[in-house]
Amino acid sequence: MNTPSEHLGAPEWVFRAVLGALGAVQLTDGLYALFAPRSFYEDFPLGRGWVEALPAYSEHLVRDVGSLFLATAVVLFAAAWFLGRRLIAITLVSFLVFSIPHFVYHSFNLEPYTTGDAVANVVGLLFTVVAPIALLIAMRRRPAEAQVAR
């Protein structure tokens, strides 16, 4: 019988850490946007004003985005907790449906940022694309005994 790590193609702690980290960011940002939309718009992250630098403020939109971030956090945390292959795969693919366009948009709209903020923005958002893809690639590996049986 395969252990969960063999079943996933990488150690459980790697999946738990990446899914948990992505979930923690979504939870933090979601709570912030939902319950303090004006502050999220003007100050995110840590007083840097990245959101304010781009589109006009809409409380409705910021609260909706906050709720969507929270929904994403729930699924990321569930995948980290249960470690089921299907749940992880669906979670990672659906997260990429969000994170890839988010990364692309911000990568092409860096004009209002200082060099340091632009680099931090791109690097931070790049993690939200590369990490899920890396986990999906790891999941494609077959356990050693399954490869022998083929």
Can you give the pLDDT of all 150 residues of the chain as single tens digits?
Answer: 445 555 899 999 999 999 999 999 999 999 999 999 999 999 999 999 999 998 799 999 999 999 999 999 999 999 999 999 999 999 999 999 999 999 999 999 999 999 999 999 999 999 999 999 999 999 998 655 444 444
Encoded amino acid at 9, one letter: G
Tell me how many domains the chain contains: 1
| pTM to 2 decimal places | 0.87
Q: Take residue 18 and report the two structure tokens written for it.
A: 């990446």
The pLDDT value recorded for residue 146 is 44
Decide: 2 and 139 in contact? Cβ < 8 Å. no
What is the rounded CA–CA span in Å between residue 109 and residue 121? 10
Which pLDDT belongs to residue 7?
83
Instruction: Assign 3-class secondary structure to the chain.
Output: CCCHHHHHCCCHHHHHHHHHHHHHHHHHHHHHHHHCHHHHHHHCCCCCCCCCCCCCCCHHHHHHHHHHHHHHHHHHHHHHHHCCHHHHHHHHHHHHHHHHHHHHHHHCCCCCCCHHHHHHHHHHHHHHHHHHHHHHHHHHCCCHHHHHHC
Report the pLDDT value the prediction gives residue 4, as an integer from 0 to 100: 52
| pLDDT confidence of residue 2 | 45
What pLDDT is recorded for position 141? 83
And the tokens for 36? 């303090």
Contact 128, 97 (CB under 8 A): no
Domain that holds residue 20: 4-149
